[in-house]
Amino acid sequence: MTESLEETGGVHRIVILNPERAGTGVVLAGDVMPSVADRVMELIREWGVTEEDYLLTRQEVIAPAPHGPGRFAAAQEFAWVEVMGEARVHSRPLGRYLALMTVAAVVAALGVIRDNPILIVGAMAVSPDLLPICALCVGIVGRRTQLGRRAAMTLVLGLALVAVIACGLAAALDATAAFDGELHLGSGGLRTLGSVDYSTVLVALAAGVAAMLSFETRAAAAVGVAISVTTIPASTLLGVALGLGDLDLAGGAAVVLAVNIVLLILSGSLTLATQTTLASRRAAARA
């Protein structure tokens, strides 16, 4: 086993924690570089080790600084097994996901109704819709049908929840005359979310690339605002427009939302596919 691990070129400091005795097996520990993590997983499966008998974790390197062509320089390299693990976790509609989408819906709905871009940005910061989008991309590239289907359902559920809450809130405020006069959508820039133009396409494509890269580096919280700009405002506008009976605007927002989601998934999947291809080539070059 140790020889096979060493031959990968990326497993270092292998330690035998207990000598093999009477056929009870052996426990190994070692440092695995992300660049060979997928190869190590293949070896583990070849040895017949079950999922209950191994653990692969990531450790952040604080010192020495990972510069130059040293052993630590590859710490941030692409590892498919890590991306797949993140996708499995975030493909399910967990309670925290639904709770955050609910909060985002309320804040965004008030932002649309009051024509307040600050509230819209706040809602985008709260929304975790980046996670199921990236999980869906992983399912597509990895040809994991069940994973992709589960992530797609989680994404649709979250955005539908946003639209429904926004619709109910707008209808309730309109019916109870919470604002002076008749409640109507402002004439500011938020109404432009109801139509598709070249900027819609370019922003969605760029956001898909950023989404996938941030998902891999666990920076989703920091980049979530950039991705949610293509989903939360449109889904909220759809709900608010329905709540106020503006069917034309609601239809336009639905088209914008659909186009954004398709382009997000397209660019995110292409980004991931490109990385897997490059990682395979680097692995082949090292072999």
Model confidence band, residue 179 (pLDDT cutoffs 50, 70, 90): low
Model confidence band, residue 169 (pLDDT cutoffs 50, 70, 90): very high
46 vs 243, which has greater pLDDT?
243
Model confidence band, residue 149 (pLDDT cutoffs 50, 70, 90): very high
pLDDT at residue 16, as a whole number: 76
Output the average pLDDT for the chain: 80
Model confidence band, residue 73 (pLDDT cutoffs 50, 70, 90): very low
Instruction: Kindly list the domain boundaries of the chain, sorted by start residue.
Output: 2-74, 81-280
Nearest to 267 by CA among 225, 220, 227: 227
Alpha carbons within 13 angstroms on the beta-carbon side of residue 75 total: 17
32 vs 98, which has greater pLDDT?
98
Distance CA 195, CA 202 (A): 14
Instruction: Give the least confident one: 37-41, 119-123, 148-152.
Output: 37-41
Kindly tell me if the per-residue pLDDT of 264 is higher than 70: yes
Distance CA 224, CA 210 (A): 9
Angle formed by the axes of helices 247-286 and 145-175, to 10°? 150
Cα dist from 180 to 88, 114, 118, 174, 184, whole Å: 48, 12, 22, 10, 11
Q: Tell me which amino acid residue 275 is.
A: Q
pLDDT at residue 255, as a whole number: 92
Q: Tell me which amino acid residue 168 is.
A: G
Kindly tell me if the per-residue pLDDT of 165 is higher than 60: yes
User: 60 is written with which tokens?
Assistant: 């952040």
Cα dist from 200 to 70, 89, 154, whole Å: 42, 30, 23
User: 130 is written with which tokens?
Assistant: 């980046």
- 159: which residues sit within 8 A by CB, 6+ positions away? 101, 129, 231, 235, 257, 261
- 171: which residues sit within 8 A by CB, 6+ positions away? 243, 244
Our CA dihedral for 216, 229, 92, 136, rounded to 10 degrees, sits at: -60
Residue ranges of the alpha helices (H) in the chain? 2-7, 37-46, 80-90, 95-113, 117-126, 130-141, 145-175, 198-216, 220-228, 232-243, 247-286
pTM of the shown model: 0.76
Distance CA 240, CA 84 (A): 36
Instruction: Give the least confident one: 131-135, 159-163, 210-214, 272-276.
Output: 210-214
- Number of residues in the chain: 287
Distance CA 217, CA 274 (A): 16
